[in-house]
Amino acid sequence: MRRRVRGFAVAIVSFAFLAPVVSARATAGDGAQPQPLQRLFDNVAVSDDARPGLANLDGYGGSLSAQDLTAAGWTPGRALTVQGARLTWPRRLPGEPDNVLAAGQSVRVGGRGDALAFLVAGTGGVGASGTGAVSYRDGTRSSYTLTAPDWRAGPLATKAVALPHINTADGQLAEQARLYVVTVPLVRGRQVASVQLPRATGVHVFALAVRSSGAGWTGSWAAATSGVRAVGPWSDRTVRLVVHTSVGGARVRLRFDNTFAAAPVRIGGATVAVQKEGATARGVPVPLSFRGGARVEIPAGAQAFSDPLGFLVPADANLLVSFHLPGPVAAAPVHQLAVQRSYVSTAGDHTAEGSGAAYTTTLTRWPLLTGVDVGGGPGSVVLLGDSITDGDRSTTGANRRWPDVLAARLLKQRGVPHYGVLNQGISGNRVVTDRYPGDGVSTDMAGVSALSRFDRDVLAQTSVRTAVVFEGVNDLRGQATAQQIVAGLQEIADRGHARGLRMLAGTILPCEGEVRCTAAVDAERSAVNAWIRGAGVFDAVLDFDAVVRDPQRPGRMLAAYDSGDHLHPGDAGLAAMARSVDLRALVP
């Protein structure tokens, strides 16, 4: 499909991001009484490696390996949290029906939230898609479009988990099988009664659930997973991460993500404390629990939230989050550029120690931890960006990234709510191209594209109200065209608006003097910025280009704001950007 966007003819990739269309009362599922999903299972997707002929996911004898699923931590009946939605892998033995081919069936589902999450796989070689409906207890309905990427050819960048083999009657293939979690919007505040599945050829549904909107919580800190890389290896080590809060609260919960991973990771115990200095805590670290226990195993591709904990989290302060890895851990999902020193201990569980004496190794990235939420508050603003948002070239340990300065501004005023500020910048990230392939251990930690990570890093964030997208310079430096970037930004805006978010965009900064910022690149940059300013696609524009450019040489950054590489602002430039934001523009 092609769309003309204010002077640009652009190719658009179809995603399921339409806002729910609400209608009056109607009978769900053509009169069929809603049933629990497992009662509707009519297809067998999982086989034992020794008996592969007992399953037939795709109609050609292909199936998922039960042994591979177990190795990934996806065991029968296991509850898996992905993109904030709690889904249960079918409690079925290999060879038993474990999924339903979507054909308009009516499924009993309950709850209130911001999205309906489906655990799916498509068959047929291409993504399978169809339209379904949600029935609410007040008698209204809303429609949705569900797209299930293909289980063998779908993108790795957006998959929930990839398994290393495919079983067939003729033997096992060394080819990856993919499963996906796809979310579609709900009408907020309404109690779901049932869901009518799409009438769609090749959409296999393994689980579905209403995702909580995060009511009662505000995101205070976040970091986006940029890839999986080799670490340690760590065995019987404690990792103590330093993270900086935006807003405070009297309760806390933490989020750990095993995104992109191929195997489960075990956390033997975790604590939280306020930092005194270095790895030393102010007071005794307080233990966290996970569904009532001290330990948690996070399956491949899943996440774990700690239980709510009564703990006074200060605003604009450093926390120490410590977790013990019984190990061995040779690779882990990480946020590569922390601009902050964290720590790894000598052997043993040192989570409860206030002293930093055992933490003898410095760490400059954040593994596994992706979020800190605090109780109450008005919700969060998510900043989706690249290295400029990530804080590259800002002073290490000083919290002078522009999101930090913005968060401090919000705290010091009374005109708008004190939103949490969630920094989802990834150094090297692009709007339309995946740098990290989305699977496996890699040395490229520039992440999957903004398009690929938007659902996980924006829509699934705690109580998000507003999102700012500020990317594109890396696409331009990689020879992407203005048309391609505009198409990507348009799609991001559409997907955010469909979920009820206020969507803002930042103009791309000048970078003349950096080796890949040629005159041709600057011309494309100017075209993208003109579109951002003039198309009216976003609810507001943060004109960072106008803030930092040299008036005498608009293609170059003002020397006072330049870190020295002509691409990244230094502390002064980042502060100027944050000070330029009209805080009222953040309010939905």
Residue 155 has pLDDT above 90, yes or no: yes
Q: Are strands 8-11 and 2-5 parallel, antiparallel or unpaired?
A: antiparallel
Domain boundary assignment for the chain: 15-211, 228-369, 378-588
The residue-averaged pLDDT of 25-32 equals 48
In our burial notation (b when 16+ CB lie closer than 10 A, e otherwise), range 243-275 reads: bbbbbbbebbbbbbbbbbbbebbebbbbbbbbb
Burial of 36 (0-12, 13-18, 19+ CB in 10 A): exposed
CB 221 within 8 A of CB 461: no
pLDDT over 60 (residue 410): yes
Q: What is the DSSP secondary structure assignment for residue 132, as one 8-state letter?
A: E
Give the torsion sign (CA, 557, 558, 560, 561): negative
The span from the CA of 506 to the CA of 538, in Å, is 10
Q: What average pLDDT does this structure show over 47-61?
A: 97
- Contact at 8 Å (CB) between 477 and 520? no
Q: Give 125's pLDDT tier (boundaries 50, 70, 90).
A: confident
Question: What is the Cα–Cα distance from 119 to 146, expressed in whole angstroms?
Answer: 11
Q: How far is CA 554 from CA 271, 318, 434, 529, in A?
A: 49, 38, 30, 13
- Strand ranges (E), 306-379: 309-313, 318-325, 329-335, 342-344, 361-363, 366-367, 369-375
Give the per-residue pLDDT at 214. 86
The pLDDT of residue 127? 83
Q: What is the pLDDT of residues 411-447, one digit of tens each?
A: 999 999 999 999 999 999 999 999 999 999 999 999 9
pLDDT digits (tens, 9 = 90+) for 335-386: 999 999 999 999 999 999 999 999 999 999 999 999 999 999 999 999 999 9
Counting residues of the chain whose pLDDT is more than 70, the rounded percentage is 95
Give, in order, the Cα–Cα distances in Å from 181 to each of 10, 84, 368: 28, 10, 20
**Architecture category of domain 378-588 in CATH:** 3-Layer(aba) Sandwich (3.40)
The proportion of the chain whose per-residue pLDDT surpasses 90, expressed as a percent, equals 93
Per the DSSP assignment, residues forming a β-bridge with 221 are 372
Q: 141 pairs with which residues across the strands? A: 23, 135
* Nearest-angstrom CA–CA distance, 516 and 477: 6
Q: How far is residue 513 CA from its own chain's centroid?
A: 34
Identify how many contiguous H helices and E strands the chain contains and give both numbers. 9, 41
Query: Given pLDDT bands bounded at 50, 70 and 90, which one contains residue 32?
Result: confident
pLDDT in the model for residue 19: 64
Taking the C-alpha atoms of residue 258 and residue 301, their distance in angstroms, rounded to an integer, is 5
Instruction: Answer whether 205's CB lies under 8 Å from 313's CB.
Output: no
Residue 31 has what pLDDT?
Answer: 63
Query: Given a cut of 70, is residue 13 above it in pLDDT?
Result: no
Question: Distance between CA atoms of 164 and 295, rounded to whole angstroms?
Answer: 27
**pLDDT at residue 232 in the model:** 94
Is the model's pLDDT at 11 over the cut of 50? no
Q: Which residues contact 89 (CB under 8 A, 6 or more apart)?
A: 69, 74, 75, 76, 77, 78, 80, 119, 206, 207
pLDDT tier at 6 (50, 70, 90 boundaries)?
very low
- Nearest CA among 54, 141, 152 for reference residue 98: 54
Q: Tens of pLDDT along 202-254? A: 999 999 999 998 889 999 999 999 999 999 999 999 999 999 999 999 999 99
Q: Is the pLDDT of residue 9 over 50?
A: no
3-state secondary structure of 275: strand
| Residues 429, 337 contacting (CB under 8 angstroms) | no
Residue 310 to residue 294: CA distance in whole angstroms: 16
pLDDT of residue 213: 84
- Confidence class for position 14, pLDDT limits 50, 70, 90: very low
